[in-house]
Amino acid sequence: MNARTSKVDSLSIISVDTSSVIEIGDSHNNDAVSNVISVQREPAIYYEHEFQFTDYPLFTFPLPEPEQPDSFQTITCQDNGFIHVKCVKTSFLSASSVLQIGSNDCVTMETRIKNIRHLLRDPS
């Protein structure tokens, strides 16, 4: 990977969630993992250690590996050693996401979310 200089005139982001990356410039690896248990309960009573990642197979089973593409040869010519971006506007970066202005050799992202709803039924 050829190193380049990244220049950003303006960057506006309202919110960046856990395990997300904002990278201006080149990098070799970006790895981000986010495990979330989201619980909505009526009434809102929660107990310490009530929801553990180990209680849900979702967080322990291995993810399938992506298939490797057939080998191919690429030739890249960087006429300019600069990446110039005038303006980036985004509302938010969600769990395990990347906003990168630059080159990257390898990106590995993983997000596992378990949503649990304990809601009262309407008596009618």
* Percent of the chain clearing pLDDT 90 (strictly above): 35
pTM for the whole structure? 0.67
How many angstroms separate the CA atoms of 76 and 90, rounded?
Answer: 29
Q: How much is the pLDDT for 57?
A: 94
Q: How much is the pLDDT for 10?
A: 95
Q: How much is the pLDDT for 97?
A: 84
Q: What angle do CA 19, 45, 37 make, to 5 degrees?
A: 25
Q: What is the pLDDT of residues 27-74, one digit of tens each?
A: 888 888 889 999 999 988 888 999 999 999 999 999 888 888 888 887
Mean pLDDT of the chain: 86
